[in-house]
Amino acid sequence: MSDAPSDSTRAAVLRGPHEVAEDDARGPVVGLYARLRELLGVPFVPTVFRMLALHEDYLAAVVDAASTVPVERLAASARRGVELAAGVARQLEPSAVSAGGDTAAVQALLARYNVANPAGMLIVVALSDGLEPARVMQAPLPERASRSLLDDVLLCHGGFTVPGLWRELADGWPEVAERAWSEIRTLARDPRFAAGRDALVALASEAAPAGTFPRAVDHPGAGEIVAWFARGIPTMVLEIECLRLAL
């Protein structure tokens, strides 16, 4: 049995390029991050917002807009998203993924991400209005060949960034990560996987109408970030529910 990563280890694993890490935040970004953690009900700032912090004025406008949405409504819509993803996961019937004595720690990791992801999804999908949708886990996936786990995760998720869940899973429980990724690769071939992701995007669009938020298409530099996460986050919500069922 391996120990779950500490907060400092997790922060190091999650520190990626083209973003403002939480411990590097200065000035107004510190306050924006605190507001985001409160709005999303999580102890960490999701990657999309750490990347948008490089566009501080835009992130401030996003947080101001998100603050006008009642927290209860955001939470209720996020729960609906998780329920929808869980229903799709049951239809896909994932095979068992063994985590042995680490099952509880891995389940806790999945649960933490599927608190942040569903709420973040509602905001980011609204920001993406007018942008060309990114290709994320789009069948047919490329052959794995000799790529490392995280290189393959990156390629299959569109080459923009490695989702934080996979970074943490690979760092803390590499053997579990390999088994989990193999199963997700298999499930993504099923047309119901893409249909489930599309249903999550539609739910988010209804829950947080685009007119409520400043569109990324109108803010140079933010569009590529938002375009990927608007498809990447719903994909991860679905992947995580599949893994929760598999474990």
pLDDT of residue 1: 59
pLDDT at 10 over 80: no
The amino acid present at 139, given as its one-letter code, is: A
| Stretch 19-40: mean pLDDT | 93
pLDDT at 63 over 50: yes
Structure tokens at 156: 């299959």
CA distances from 25 to 33, 34, 45, 116, 140 (A): 8, 11, 11, 19, 39
Task: Using pLDDT thresholds of 50, 70 and 90, give the confidence band for residue 28.
Answer: very high
pLDDT of residue 234: 97
Which of 120, 180, 128, 129 lies closest to 150, judged by CA?
180
Which of 197, 187, 88 lies closest to 135, judged by CA?
197
Could you report the per-residue pLDDT of 109-120, keeping only the tens digit for each?
999 898 889 989
pLDDT at 14 over 90: no
Higher pLDDT among residues 178 and 116, named by residue? 178
Rg of the chain on CA atoms, in Å: 17
The Cα–Cα gap between 81 and 78 comes to: 5
Task: Using pLDDT thresholds of 50, 70 and 90, give the confidence band for residue 16.
Answer: low
Structure tokens at 65: 């807009």
CA count, 13 A, side-chain hemisphere, 215: 11
To the nearest 10°, the Cα dihedral for 47, 111, 139, 121? -50
| Stretch 161-172: mean pLDDT | 94
pLDDT at 50 over 50: yes
Structure tokens at 27: 């000035």
CA distances from 164 to 10, 18, 47, 102 (A): 10, 14, 7, 19
pLDDT of residue 15: 62
Say whether 125 sits in a helix, a strand or coil. Answer: helix
pLDDT of residue 2: 59
pLDDT of residue 198: 96
pLDDT of residue 9: 47
Could you report the per-residue pLDDT of 196-245, keeping only the tens digit for each?
999 999 999 988 777 889 999 999 889 999 999 999 999 999 999 999 99
Instruction: Give me the chain's average pLDDT, please.
Output: 91
Looking at the chain, the number of H-run helices and the number of E-run strands are 11, 0
pLDDT of residue 13: 57
The Cα–Cα gap between 193 and 149 comes to: 21
pLDDT of residue 8: 45
